[in-house]
Amino acid sequence: MPEQPERLGDGTRSVHAGRPPATAHTPSLPGPVFVSHYHLPGDATGPYMYGRDQNPTWTQLEEAITQLESPTEPAETVVFSSGMGAISSVLLAQARSGDTVVLPSDCYQTTRALQQRLESYGVRVRLAPTRGDGQLDALDGAKLLWIETPSNPELDVCDIRRLVDAAHDAGALVAVDNTLATPLGQRPLDLGADFSVASGTKALTGHGDLLLGYVTARDPGLAGSVRLWRKTVGAIPGPMEAWLAHRSLATLELRVDRQAANALALADALARRTEITGLRHPGLPADASYPVARRQMRRFGSVVSFVLPDKAHAERFLAALRLTGEATSFGSVLSTAERRARWGGDAVPEGFIRFSVGIENPDDIVADVLAALDTALQGGA
């Protein structure tokens, strides 16, 4: 990585992050290291001792993500086999019996599903909404505050700095799920958070072809605690997935810029449709979250959500899309959409649509969506 990365543009940092210095006749990004054990004579010391502990391919990816999440201050990243591997490592490694953890009541439903597991270990869990910094009122006596902003799937935004300051005053650590924003959209560590956590499955890698998660922390002890959790439970990424993720970072700025612009174009078009209610995108000036998002986010992400009149109407709309696949997850270069209520677990209407905007030409995305909306209306006539 060139010197003084904080002075480099996001695109330059994305391309060069974690790559070794240029050396004659060597690859710019070494290939994945497939190994379960290393030559280890004598005492069990050294950077690489066993394949579940560490891998050179992980190391390069971890350095790359660190340079994106924290370009100005030292930090450490630990990569995992999935986003939930990363999320559970923070929650389960930090909380002990008798502790209190504060979770968003509107966060990713599998994160909320950890409530039952935490409570089975004697941890008290409080739920409070993202909107309006609702978690502020739940911090008394807490050990850990978990923030998800923008929230998934409803796209509410909270004031990270305000919540972090209040949590630290109350003696709590703070973890921020940065999946929707990516480190090019916001940097939770710069806003005071103790952990920045994300599913790299989504926009970070952006091609819908791998599962990955990561945790970045400035405190070496906190980073070590999640690294030990990874080693103990074996939530390790494959070297091929780690290498593919690192390769994908080179286009991160290109992808997230195009997706953010496309998402805003789609949101603008949807705002003129009378059958749509509950339109949300944090980059839309009319959105309730826009004032806070504008202060703390540098890019507003690829997801737009909205509500169609009922389940049948939403299903007609999804079936009529031609360029957009019906799939869960988000952040891919391909546009996808789903009726989120089909999974249960989220407090959203039956006609709630989570739309992940890809990198296709914006006019084509908008035309496809508007045509599908017209078809859905006609089917209901």
**DSSP class per residue in 242-287:** HHHHHHHHTTHHHHHHHHHHHHHHHHHHHTT-TT-EEEE-TTSTTS
Q: What is the mean pLDDT of residues 100-104?
A: 98
What was the pLDDT predicted at 7?
Answer: 82
**Residue 362: is its pLDDT beyond 60?**
yes
Give the residue from 222, 249, 276 where a domain finishes.
249
Give the residue from 208, 224, 249 where a domain finishes.
249
**Residue 81: is its pLDDT beyond 80?**
yes
CATH code of residue 265: 3.90.1150.10
Are residues 156 and 182 located together in one domain of the fold?
A: yes
**Residue 251: is its pLDDT beyond 80?**
yes
Q: Specify whether the CB–CB gap between 278 and 287 falls below 8 A.
A: no
Locate all alpha helices (DSSP H) within 83-200, ordered by sequence.
83-94, 109-112, 114-120, 160-169
Share of the chain above pLDDT 70, in %: 98
**Residue 1: is its pLDDT beyond 80?**
no
Are residues 121 and 178 located together in one domain of the fold?
A: yes
For residue 184, the tally of other CB atoms under 10 A from its CB is 23
User: Into how many domains does the chain fold?
Assistant: 2
Are residues 156 and 10 located together in one domain of the fold?
A: yes
Residues 278 and 169: their CA atoms lie apart, in Å, by: 35
Are residues 228 and 161 located together in one domain of the fold?
A: yes
**Which residue would you say has higher pLDDT here, 2 or 315?**
315
Give the residue from 205, 228, 249 where a domain finishes.
249
What was the pLDDT predicted at 344?
Answer: 87
Are residues 84 and 182 located together in one domain of the fold?
A: yes
Are residues 73 and 210 located together in one domain of the fold?
A: yes
Q: What is the mean pLDDT of residues 92-99?
A: 97
Are residues 124 and 26 located together in one domain of the fold?
A: yes
What was the pLDDT predicted at 93?
Answer: 96
Are residues 112 and 216 located together in one domain of the fold?
A: yes
Identify the residue whose tokens are 């789903």. 338
Q: What is the mean pLDDT of residues 268-279?
A: 97
Are residues 174 and 263 located together in one domain of the fold?
A: no
Are residues 330 and 185 located together in one domain of the fold?
A: no
Are residues 135 and 273 located together in one domain of the fold?
A: no
Identify the residue whose tokens are 């920045």. 196
What was the pLDDT predicted at 346?
Answer: 86
Q: Specify whether the CB–CB gap between 353 and 256 falls below 8 A.
A: no
**Residue 2: is its pLDDT beyond 60?**
no
4-53 pLDDT, tens digit per residue, is 556 899 999 999 999 999 889 889 999 999 999 999 888 888 899 999 99
Burial class (CB in 10 A: 0-12, 13-18, 19+), 73: exposed
Are residues 86 and 226 located together in one domain of the fold?
A: yes
- Residue 128: half-sphere exposure toward Cβ, Cα within 13 Å: 18
What was the pLDDT predicted at 37?
Answer: 92
Identify the residue whose tokens are 């945790």. 215
CATH code of residue 221: 3.40.640.10
Q: What is the mean pLDDT of residues 324-341?
A: 95
**Residue 3: is its pLDDT beyond 60?**
no
Reading the block at residue 173, the tokens are 């650590």
Q: What's the domain range around 356?
A: 253-379
